[in-house]
Structure 1
């Protein structure tokens, strides 16, 4: 089952995911063309009509924890506060032309002065802000694992000789590069953050309509790809390794 916690489960590759989507859609079209459904076939078809074969609620797919509650607006005050904070940061960097390093330095300066006033002028004991070693190790392990998984996938794409997968990955990277020329890094991050707070809750509310629309689009893409494969891609020989004595 596909999760949206930042990484794909072990054993699932983007190629397998795309093949599962196409296979599911092909089975659905084949059953529709057959003209009749049994009661069991209808129940099974209803399960697999969900996007990516989804059978669990979207809340469980997002992890089922506090992060899922925030993304799905279970607590509107917290979700609005998080989105508002992200918007404030984006406004500081984009509209007010603040730079990251001066902003961090000014923030640290204010914190140090506040600590000094609290300790020496007010005679209190200022709070100690420390990140635990366990938290830092967890962050490093998670980030390092995701980077290694991405590098391994890219290496696999370049060495397997699969023209279809190579075209999909290169097209995705070129699309991302084009989007990057329209706006800078912070804007791209902010757009992704806003999308993460809008798309899941919209999909949870209108999942049936969105699933049907996506399958209709995939059907058209499948037909176009079949024509392209029959006329062009099927004639391209796949790369094979040379054998040496």
Structure 2
């Protein structure tokens, strides 16, 4: 059993804050059990329809929209016969905070991608290339739907598992990080430092 310490964790701050600290973080860490379970059930149903039933995407979307339209039509016109409250139009809108969060993360991804691609850190550049190549190889053994579904399952299981076993994971990650650093220091001194590089201009982000 690894020794627990007061050193900062793998991310340097609570995982909930790393994930944005909002509704999305609550869902990924299963703090909102109903929403998390509903999303997992929904994605599992979509995976089942595509991979098992072999539904076509356009056909599925059309059938879903038809079903929603029929439900709302019956609900609205039978409002005098049932006691259920009619859904409000704002119930179907995506919150602004969600859009801002996605927009912010996408811009951050673009900036990171640019910084890595310019070769400012050659070690990270080659690690990224190797990682993408490995992912592309793995992708040959999965269909797009299976790959997306597997990624989704990782998103909703790995964060909560990390939060539960944070100290053990941090201990293993620390040991692995030390081994990787030793490997790349050796690679840096024998290979990367001999590669000629041109000057990289610094650019300010707006």
TM-score past 0.5 threshold: yes
Which structure has more helix as a fraction of its residues? 1
Which runs of structure 2 are paired with 1:1-245 in the superposition (5 Å)? 46-48=5-7, 50-54=9-13, 56=14, 58-74=15-31, 76-118=33-75, 127=86, 130=89, 135=94, 141-160=100-119, 162-240=121-199
1:88 aligned counterpart, secondary structure: helix
Q: TM-score, normalization: structure 2?
A: 0.73
Which whole-Å CA distance do the structure 1 matches of 2:132 and 2:19 have between them?
25
Would the aligned equivalents of 2:11 and 2:18 in 1 still touch at CA under 8 Å? Answer: no
1:240 aligned counterpart, secondary structure: coil
Would the aligned equivalents of 1:47 and 1:53 in 2 still touch at CA under 8 Å? Answer: no
Distance 1:175 1:73, change over 3 A: same
Deviations 1:146-189 (A, max 9, x none): 44443333333333554223212222322232232222332222
Shift of 1:137: 6.0
What stretches of structure 1 move > 6 A for 4+ residues in a row? 121-126
Shift of 1:215: 1.0
The structure showing larger relative contact order (alpha-carbon pairs under 8 Å, at least 6 residues apart) is: 2
Worse-matched range after superposition: 143-152 or 124-133: 124-133
Distance 1:146 1:196, change over 3 A: closer
Calculate the aligned-residue CA RMSD, in Å.
Answer: 3.4
Would the aligned equivalents of 1:72 and 1:200 in 2 still touch at CA under 8 Å? Answer: yes
Which whole-Å CA distance do the structure 2 matches of 1:111 and 1:139 have between them?
23
Distance 1:148 1:49, change over 3 A: closer
Which whole-Å CA distance do the structure 1 matches of 2:39 and 2:127 have between them?
34
Worse-matched range after superposition: 230-239 or 69-78: 69-78
Would the aligned equivalents of 1:73 and 1:79 in 2 still touch at CA under 8 Å? Answer: yes
Q: TM-score, normalization: structure 1?
A: 0.64
Question: How many residues get paired?
Answer: 196
Which whole-Å CA distance do the structure 1 matches of 2:132 and 2:158 have between them?
22
Distance 1:192 1:226, change over 3 A: same
Q: Structure 2: where are the runs of 5+ without partners?
A: 201-206
